[in-house]
Structure 1
Amino acid sequence: MNITKFWSAPGRFSFAQVAVSGILFSLSLVFVNHVISWIALLPLFLILSKAVNIRQAVQIGLLFGCASAGILNYWMVPAIQYYAQGSLFLAVACWLLAVLLIALCYALQFVLFVKLSFRSDGWPALVLSALLMAVLWVGGEWLRAQAFSGMPWLSYSFGVSLSSQLYLVQPAAIGSVYILSFSLVLFNYSLSHAVHSRSWKWALAPLLIVLVHAVSGLLMYGIISDKLSGDGRKHINTSLVLASQSPEAVWDERNGSALVQNLLSLNRQAVTSSPELVLWSETVVPWTYSPDDDFLREISRGVAGRGAHYLMGMSSPVSHNSSMVYNSAYLFKPDGQVVGRYDKTALLTLVERPLFEESSGIILPFLAGGGLAVRAGSVEQLMQTPWGKAGLLLCSESAVPTLTNSYGKLGATFLINLGNDGWFSDYFITRQHFYNCRLRAVETRKDIVINNNRGVSGVIHGTGDIGARFQSDEASIQQVSVYPNSVPANDFHLFLYALFLLGAALAIGKCFERAGAKSERRPNVS
């Protein structure tokens, strides 16, 4: 195919290249596959580098966005139709809206690239254009994460695909997932130039990028392994109660007794190994907390004499006169006294909170069908435990790096993620959830222990090593060890600030280039 003729007479195969790139991009995230990610954007950049006007950039952005977002959000249709009691029309409408929003974001991103890219020949223009694309890509990811903080399905980050590889994920310790995306985009863009120019000396650029990334990751892993091995290595013997409940489980006269007896049986099994901490999942108790709860008394009796604290997910009433609740996690002493409580702060839009205001009523009935509305808790809550300060993440909060970053600043010594992926247990969301937790562990250099109902549970150490991993639809008790540490974490925002300054410098440089080009074209009238 002659790429240079694409825009003068667009062909179906050329447009197919953009679609193929969107498919590869989405597959790298669906399977968290770092191999696919190194070539995923190659077809896209081969085409985008030839775009010369806004119309072409918009076309490429819309096509790439639709192809990638259409696959990444396919799960919305069956999930909304089944669990949210919605019609097929509502499910498809939500899916199409998500696809359109992401496509528009990519269109804007590519328009900025076409307007600001450096078109002159030679390696300086190539380097500057590659940096520009990487800055715009990461900036787009960050802006979507801020704008759609309650809708993680609108802010997938390319760098997540590298989190499946231990050494490649290590740079996240200084730049979060965004530095991983930066490396991938830089590599793909420079590789596209090598392919297009057919001058294989240019292949040294992408080779150098991946080499620097991998070697730096290897060195960072060695350094943090030495630090953590010398940090005392006291650990918390933890029992994970994998209840594997249906996400539709509620207490009522028909199934309430069986549900309670199952949870009490699991509690008895959990303490047989004399753990220090018994960890349950998010909303494992499908009713609102009360200090006079007979069920909690029975749980305490089962733990009595074993010396184990236990952490349970359940809702908390906002007030006696309100139907609103907090999505909470309670830490109990062995005698049943409450040690601490965490309320989820980053609520899911349309699922836990309405689209606009609490009174708007625009919410899918995952929870609202039962008359339940959720209110966000206060930010930056650490839970004091017998083993140090714990940073709690409830379900989708594992996809919010700013939250764990604040925990690191406040002195958290380990992280806990309680989730309920029963709604999405048949989709790749469970895999994404687990590897997002790996990113949070590497970013903060803290162990994170995960109990995710019908998702992937286990423990990931601050080095990024996966200490244990479990996933099953069958109820079970699993034993893991969690190692708190006091190693300080880096602030990944410093990387973002440097990136934004680089973007500003590139934009200023482009202005000077245009001014110089205009002065050269101006006739000499002297």
Structure 2
Amino acid sequence: MNKRGLSVLLPVVAGLLAFISIGEINFYTGWIAFVPLFACVINAPSRRCFKAGLIFGAAFSCFAYSWMITGAQRFTGYNFLYGAGIMLLCALFVACYWGCLLFCLSLLQRRATGIKNILLNSLIAAAVFCLVELLLSFVSEGFPWFGFYAGNSLIDNVYSIQPASLFGVGILSFIVVAVNYLFAVFLIQKQWLRLTVPAAVIVVFLLGGYLVLHNFNTQVNKSNPVKIALINENILPDIKWDDTNGNQLVQRLLRLNEAATAQQPGIIAWTESSIPWTYRKDDDLVNEILKTSAAAKATQILGINTEVSDNVVNNSAYCIQPDGTVTGRYDKQYLLSLIEAPFININIPFFSSKGFTVNADSSHHLPLATSYGKAGMMICNESAGYKPAVHAVNNGAVFLCNISNDGWFNNTYIVRNHFYQARLRAVETRRDVAVNSNNGYSGFIDANGIIIEQKKDVEPFVLTNAVQLNNYKSFFVKYPWLFAAACAIFVSGVMLLTIFKKNN
């Protein structure tokens, strides 16, 4: 194959490998996913780098956003062309993102002719990736389907995820990109012996992760565990609660509540919007639920919306004591743009045809005060970014709880990815996390990143386990911006040095 053909094929292969690594969360392919892409851009002019980025982004999007074609038809009732249009817009954005990223990298990288320049280039590539990912994270707060990080693949391994407690996902992306770059250079230059360099970096990184994990396990004193029962109703989100099946669905919820109460938990947690209407103190279903669970003296964390006005609600989680007293309410703070909340005054009914919008109520942003300590809440896509979890811990949360509804995506890679994002939040904040996702993965994740229990089923179920409480604050919780600042300083220094050399 000629060079022109390779310049197209290699980014396409890299797009597939990157999706497997980042979307599917695969530890092994993560170390080589970007090798074909870097093979196209090492020592290449800026124009070729931009083109490689466009092709890579387009190929990646074909795998990452293919669910939108049929999904949009299901969610809104429109035909598949609507979903295809949304997918093309997302693919265009992602392609331009990667094109700009590689263009910026081409302006900074040295000619890879000596080991010194090769090592420096790997650090430059890693730092540029981290900074651009940081910029993308501001967009992905409202559009979580853009929240792809190069380091996501390392969430799959209990040792490689540990440095996130120090520097967040940024350090994971940094090491992945640096290793991929080194592999690519030494393969292109056929320096077979030097392939041991990136291999050694991987070994040292995993060893460092082991030491971080060991230090945390010996340093942190976990005490006062609380038993939490997760009620997963597994009701498809497009099922109508009407006269035909409403009573049947209510009976399902009541039976699940009885099964959870029989486990004698301290807390019973439901999924996001598990009761599909707004909260009222005199609600018959809520009162019947409380009446049953009062026998176990269990605190209820109930996913149910709060009415604001006509067709406007808050996506809420209520903390209700056995006697019916509401001790706290958390409202989702990071809303889905275009879906739950308008974006630049535009609202597209993509994931819901019900027609309501969600209000951003910043007054209910604090952890829920349970009888066992504060529960830091993350609703749906809020587990995809570090800010809600860090905010909760800094406000006294002794454990985290992520409730969501993955029913719209239950046959896609998103549901597993969602669960592993919660795992990343557990390590970053060093808090146990209870995850309860309707039609998705539910379970319990230890603060050290070990998955205690994980379950996905098509039938309703109750999952019970103990969650350890702690007040430990990780380095990342204290200084979440530090690693990004270090990358910015490093890249700025490289830029100034490059300008200085050109001027002389």
**1:201, CA displacement in angstroms?**
4.0
Secondary structure of 1:349's aligned partner: coil
Match of 2:377 in 1: 392
Supply the distance in 1 between the matched residues of 2:288 and 2:497 (Cα, whole angstroms).
69
Q: 1:249 aligns with which of 227, 239, 263?
A: 239
Q: 1:307 aligns with which of 297, 305, 308?
A: 297
Supply the distance in 2 between the matched residues of 1:191 and 1:92 (Cα, whole angstroms).
36
Secondary structure of 2:397's aligned partner: coil
Match of 2:409 in 1: 424
Distance of aligned partners of 1:366 and 1:42 in 2 relative to their CA distance in 1, 3 Å threshold: closer
Q: Is the 8 A contact 1:250 1:286 kept in 2?
A: no
Aligned positions of 1:111-130 closer than 5 A: 111-119=103-111, 121-130=113-122
Per-residue CA deviation, residues 485-520 of structure 1 (Å, 9 max, x unaligned), is: 01112233111111111111111121122223xxxx
Match of 1:282 in 2: 272
Supply the distance in 2 between the matched residues of 1:155 and 1:213 (Cα, whole angstroms).
24
What residue identity is the alignment partner of 1:371?
Answer: G
Unaligned runs of 5+ in 2: none
Match of 2:263 in 1: 273
Greater mean alpha carbon deviation, residues 212-221 or residues 78-87: 78-87
TM-score, with structure 2 as normaliser: 0.96
Aligned positions of 1:155-304 closer than 5 A: 155-228=147-220, 230-231=221-222, 233-304=223-294
**1:120, CA displacement in angstroms?**
6.4
Q: Identity over aligned residues, as a percent?
A: 32
1:20 aligns with 2:13: yes
Match of 1:377 in 2: 361
Q: Is the 8 A contact 1:450 1:457 kept in 2?
A: yes
Secondary structure of 2:295's aligned partner: coil
Supply the distance in 2 between the matched residues of 1:466 and 1:421 (Cα, whole angstroms).
19
Supply the distance in 2 between the matched residues of 1:99 and 1:271 (Cα, whole angstroms).
47
Greater mean alpha carbon deviation, residues 371-380 or residues 130-139: 371-380
Match of 1:100 in 2: 92
**1:45, CA displacement in angstroms?**
0.8
Greater mean alpha carbon deviation, residues 380-389 or residues 67-76: 380-389
Per-residue CA deviation, residues 49-95 of structure 1 (Å, 9 max, x unaligned), is: 0311x321221110010011221111111111112222211100100
Supply the distance in 1 between the matched residues of 2:189 and 2:149 (Cα, whole angstroms).
29
Supply the distance in 1 between the matched residues of 2:293 and 2:388 (Cα, whole angstroms).
32
Q: Is the 8 A contact 1:118 1:510 kept in 2?
A: no
What residue identity is the alignment partner of 1:473?
Answer: V
Match of 2:391 in 1: 406
Q: Is the 8 A contact 2:50 2:103 kept in 1?
A: yes
**1:472, CA displacement in angstroms?**
0.2
What residue identity is the alignment partner of 1:506?
Answer: V
Match of 1:465 in 2: 450
Unaligned runs of 5+ in 1: 517-526
Q: Is the 8 A contact 1:28 1:36 kept in 2?
A: yes
Aligned alpha-carbon RMSD (Å)? 1.5
Supply the distance in 1 between the matched residues of 2:238 and 2:105 (Cα, whole angstroms).
46
Match of 1:76 in 2: 68
**1:29, CA displacement in angstroms?**
2.3
Supply the distance in 1 between the matched residues of 2:112 and 2:8 (Cα, whole angstroms).
25
Query: Would you say how many aligned residue pairs link Structure 1 and Structure 2?
Result: 500
Greater mean alpha carbon deviation, residues 29-38 or residues 391-400: 29-38
What residue identity is the alignment partner of 1:422?
Answer: G
Q: Is the 8 A contact 2:69 2:81 kept in 1?
A: no
Greater mean alpha carbon deviation, residues 64-73 or residues 117-126: 117-126
Supply the distance in 1 between the matched residues of 2:52 and 2:436 (Cα, whole angstroms).
41
Distance of aligned partners of 1:514 and 1:121 in 2 relative to their CA distance in 1, 3 Å threshold: farther
Q: Is the 8 A contact 2:261 2:295 kept in 1?
A: no
Q: Is the 8 A contact 1:85 1:365 kept in 2?
A: no
Distance of aligned partners of 1:399 and 1:416 in 2 relative to their CA distance in 1, 3 Å threshold: same
Supply the distance in 2 between the matched residues of 1:513 and 1:123 (Cα, whole angstroms).
20
Distance of aligned partners of 1:377 and 1:212 in 2 relative to their CA distance in 1, 3 Å threshold: farther
Aligned positions of 1:7-86 closer than 5 A: 10-52=3-45, 54-86=46-78
Secondary structure of 1:291's aligned partner: coil
Q: Is the 8 A contact 2:339 2:357 kept in 1?
A: no
1:446 aligns with 2:438: no
Q: 2:339 aligns with which of 351, 355, 360?
A: 351
What residue identity is the alignment partner of 1:433?
Answer: H
Aligned positions of 1:469-488 closer than 5 A: 469-488=454-473
Secondary structure of 1:370's aligned partner: coil
Supply the distance in 1 between the matched residues of 2:241 and 2:328 (Cα, whole angstroms).
25
Per-residue CA deviation, residues 225-280 of structure 1 (Å, 9 max, x unaligned), is: 1123x33x221111111111111134322222111111111111110121111111
Q: Is the 8 A contact 2:42 2:112 kept in 1?
A: no
Secondary structure of 1:271's aligned partner: helix
Secondary structure of 2:424's aligned partner: helix
1:131 aligns with 2:116: no
TM-score, with structure 1 as normaliser: 0.92
Secondary structure of 2:275's aligned partner: coil
Supply the distance in 2 between the matched residues of 1:240 and 1:128 (Cα, whole angstroms).
49
Q: Is the 8 A contact 1:249 1:286 kept in 2?
A: no
**1:117, CA displacement in angstroms?**
1.2
Supply the distance in 1 between the matched residues of 2:14 and 2:295 (Cα, whole angstroms).
59
* Structure 1 residue ranges, 4+ long, deviating more than 4 angstroms after superposition: none
**1:103, CA displacement in angstroms?**
0.6
Per-residue CA deviation, residues 85-109 of structure 1 (Å, 9 max, x unaligned), is: 2221110010010011011011111
**1:447, CA displacement in angstroms?**
0.3
Secondary structure of 1:141's aligned partner: helix
Supply the distance in 1 between the matched residues of 2:449 and 2:140 (Cα, whole angstroms).
27
Which structure has the greater CA radius of gyration? 1
What residue identity is the alignment partner of 1:236?
Answer: V
Supply the distance in 2 between the matched residues of 1:268 and 1:405 (Cα, whole angstroms).
34
